[in-house]
Amino acid sequence: MQNRFLASITMLDKPLATALAPLLHEQFCGHIDASQFAMLVEASGKPEEQVLMDLLPIAAALANPPISEFYVGAIAKGKSGDLYMGANLELPGEALFHSVHAEQSAISHAWLSGETEILDVIVNYSPCGHCRQFMNELFNGSNIKIHLPQQETHPLSYYLPYGFSPADLNVTMPLLCKREKEFSLNSDDPMIIEALDQAGLSYAPYTNSNAAVVLETMDGATFCGRYAENAAFNPSMQPMQMALSNLIRHNRQYSEIKRAVLVESSEGKISLVGATMDALHAIAAIELEHIVVEPMPA
């Protein structure tokens, strides 16, 4: 079992802890598939919703908050029945806008894993306005059920009445909908090819600034992040922050990063290179490889 879960697993009832422990192996990154979750529910003898609540300390153990020292865990349950954990992330000594909220982390985990709809979000503290707006960007977002400890379950619309959504800006395919853009670039570099593919899957309906980051560690593993825009602009999730959240969820350290690539579209109204470099230089002494690509004709 990973050391970061040793304290949190002691907070669980023994039947659930015993069933969960084998899943918390060295490769565990917060993903529990539907069959594994069903096994945990059966072993615990509790209702599904209670088991989801009980798992929150495990999600919170994924957090990396050197500024606030406040550990927030979230679980996004996809339409597939799979669970995707996430936690808050802060960059040491850097401006707070570089932070990743737990709900963003969990949702981006689901998105990177191919989920197309989130049905439930379980979190150990009430979602802030930033996160409510971020969740409202999702497909069928207003109907997502929000589960909080010792509170009744309500849809997101209860927490964000009269919300501002993609539909208000005439976006008909919100975040998590299947979409892909193709870009032109000749390269045989696997890392650049991965970044190009991820940029094509990113979500940038307001600026057309499709972008993605790929980080490579010393052992050759890669961790990606895509740009995810928001109708309210500021809750947009930067690709570097998503990639760093992905890295930390996989129990890797910033010191392991040896290479970082940002690919972004030439047709975008903005560039993410400045924000990406700031985040990278806060945690690693390496230079960012910045590649601008042309979109393929429709």
Q: pLDDT for 163-200, tens place per residue?
A: 999 999 999 999 999 888 999 888 999 999 999 999 99
The answer to whether 89 is annotated as binding is yes
Average the pLDDT over 208-226 and give the result. Answer: 98
pLDDT for 95 beyond 90: no
DSSP per-residue string spanning 129-180: HHHHHHHTTBTTGGGPEEE-TTS--EEHHHHSTT---GGGGT-SS-BTS---
In this structure, are strands 288-295 and 183-184 parallel, antiparallel, or unpaired? antiparallel
d(CA 280, CA 277): 5
pLDDT of residue 39: 98
pLDDT of residue 179: 82
Q: How confident is the model at residue 59 (pLDDT cuts 50, 70, 90)?
A: very high
The answer to whether 177 is annotated as binding is no
User: Which tokens go with 142?
Assistant: 């207003």
- Is residue 256 flagged as an active site residue? no
The answer to whether 90 is annotated as binding is yes
Active-site choice (42, 69, 94, 103): 103
pLDDT for 271 beyond 80: yes
pLDDT of residue 265: 97
The answer to whether 131 is annotated as binding is yes
Q: How confident is the model at residue 297 (pLDDT cuts 50, 70, 90)?
A: confident
| Edge-to-edge strand list for the sheet holding 145-147 | 31-32, 83-87, 73-78, 118-123, 145-147, 154-155
pLDDT of residue 151: 94
Q: In Å, how far are 76, 123, 164, 198, 246 from 128, measured between CA atoms?
A: 16, 11, 15, 28, 22
pLDDT for 22 beyond 80: yes
User: Which tokens go with 129?
Assistant: 């306005």
The answer to whether 291 and 262 have CB atoms below 8 angstroms apart is yes
The answer to whether 224 is annotated as binding is no
